[in-house]
Amino acid sequence: MNGREFLGNLDEKPTAERDERIYEALVAGHHPPLRWTTLKLEGAGHSATVECLAQPLQVGDEEPVFVSVRHVPTAQKLADHFDSVLPTAKLSDEAYLQSDHQLPACLQTPDSRMAYTSRMIDHSDCIRAALSASSAGVGELAAPIGKDWTNTNRLIGRADRSAEYGLQCPGAGHQGVTPGMRVWQPGPSLAHIDGFTDYMTGKVRLYKRKMVVDGSREMDIEEVARDAKLHRLVSTEGTIAALRHPAVPRPGEPDEPTVDTLRPAMPLFIRTLRHGMVGDDVAAWQRICGVTDDGVFGKRTKAKTQAWQASRGIVSDGIVGPRTRAVAFKELAAGHAVDTPALNTVLAEPDPLNPAWVQAANFTWASRTVVHWIVLHSMEWAEKPSTAEACANMFAGRWDDAPRSSAHYCIDNDSVVQCVKEEHVAWHAKLANRFGVGYEHGGFARQSRAEWLDEYSESMLWLSARLASGVTVPRWGLPVQFVDRDGLRSAYSDYIHKGMPVPNELRGFTTHYEVTKGLGGTHVDPGKHFPLDRYLDMVREAA
């Protein structure tokens, strides 16, 4: 079978039938011989080897083409057929780091036709040219070929999403999961619904199930991913219960999800959107503001956005951030703006009022009836969509021994995870523990004000503000105001130590740094540039 002719006879648009035809051809053996190469892995004092495809799957006995398919169900079913798994983000990085040939990214101009079959063929031609220019042999490991469909804990409870990661390249725009790695697709990202693919997204590089650990011990790769110590060989996000998409049952199992639900489905509409961005969330916004929903945020979309904002009294900067989304969701909930069924679940936002739950190992059981402060922290962890989950897993001791610390909530740009009930005492700020609720945020104390107000942090702080205004503030009757070190010191010396009620002027929001300066300690997070003024404005606006 000629691969180019085969694809040329398929639907030009990315239909389920197109995917099924590609799947059937590959299962029938219409592909070049699969050539495997060995990756060497290290983590937590252990070593291992695993075999992966030197190059992703291609369809065709003659003139084979590198194909892009959907995560659900096609890529997962192909992994099952070849008794393999799709990569984690760490495995994707390792394939690049250990490749014989590191290829340039074959990028195309973003437009509404990126998922067309002809564009897939064009991308394959570009890859073929890059392989030829690097003199890559058919059995030599070459990367990146495209973006990888990826196994991740972030898919738990999010069966309607696809997870992608990769396109490694020096000078790429984002930090990868491996220190020093630069990628064009950070994450793993769940920005796309389960039926998504395009010319770049959905290349299928497989990894064999059998691993050899510490030189002699043969283990299934999923067993390694679940192991409390060995998971670091294959994962940077803690243990992973199942290296597969939760919406696709294992062969021979009932047609039901294979992973328990941790929380509601992952929302798509969470990014801050601006000129030049591309995606399904852009298309969703275009339907709201009244422009052709081609998924490309161009000049016309920006102008329509500005007009939409101006008509609603929002700063008309043409950027769709948390405030603009909040107004849009309010209108949608009231039945205004657009036909909501057409948008389906695309316009769901993370719900901080119903956070995920991962219990911390160390905290003090209590039945508090009084709280005086929300104490704001920075985790000192990189800004990733999985940072809240990772910090919660650390507090729970799911990686190593649990630290002698905890917080009530961990927050990143798209999720909130609760680790300690508010009536109990988390271990996060020494003397402030007894009367404080700890909020941990992704990022570092060294960040500048601009970095605390970038796209990631703005979404994170908005989630935090909604949590504060909807849960903690009304529960404990907290004023929305900043309490500095002097106020904290006065609350203890003049009232708490004397058994007297703390007046409202000494209650509200503070930081770990202020606790250190007022009550003792060593921590300085979330840093002197944390934008408390903007954050408190968000809390008031969310209320």
**Is 6's pLDDT higher than 90?**
yes
**Is 3's pLDDT higher than 80?**
yes
- Calculate mean pLDDT across residues 510-527: 96
**Is 353's pLDDT higher than 90?**
no
174 vs 472: which has the higher pLDDT: 472
**Is 432's pLDDT higher than 50?**
yes
Query: pLDDT tens across 27-79, in order?
Result: 999 999 999 999 999 988 899 999 999 999 999 999 999 999 999 999 999 99
**Among 120-124, 257-261, 306-310, 314-318, where is mean pLDDT lowest?**
257-261
Backbone φ, ψ for residue 74 (5° rounding): -65, -55
Written as one string, the DSSP assignment of 487-515 is HHHHIIIIIITTT-PPPGGG-EEEEHHHH
- What was the pLDDT predicted at 194? 72
- Calculate mean pLDDT across residues 376-381: 96
Query: pLDDT tens across 183-209, in order?
Result: 888 878 877 777 788 899 989 999 999
| CA 136 – CA 320 distance, rounded (Å) | 44
- What was the pLDDT predicted at 337? 42
Could you tell me the pTM of the whole model? 0.58
- What was the pLDDT predicted at 518? 95
Which range has highest mean pLDDT (256-260, 323-327, 343-347)? 323-327
pLDDT band at 401 (very low <50, low <70, confident <90, very high): confident
| CA 244 – CA 163 distance, rounded (Å) | 11
Which range has highest mean pLDDT (114-123, 283-292, 337-346)? 114-123
| CA 108 – CA 147 distance, rounded (Å) | 13
| CA 103 – CA 143 distance, rounded (Å) | 6
pLDDT over 70 percentage in the chain: 93
pLDDT over 90 percentage in the chain: 61
- Calculate mean pLDDT across residues 401-410: 94
- What was the pLDDT predicted at 350? 66
**Is 386's pLDDT higher than 60?**
yes
**Is 257's pLDDT higher than 60?**
no
| CA 418 – CA 429 distance, rounded (Å) | 17
**Is 371's pLDDT higher than 80?**
yes
Residue 233, both tokens:
């060989």
Query: pLDDT tens across 205-234, in order?
Result: 999 999 999 999 999 999 999 998 899 999
User: 188: cis peptide before it, omega within 30°?
Assistant: yes
| Contact in structure between 447 and 387 (CB atoms under 8 Å) | no
Query: pLDDT tens across 72-122, in order?
Result: 999 999 999 999 999 999 999 999 999 999 999 888 887 778 889 999 999
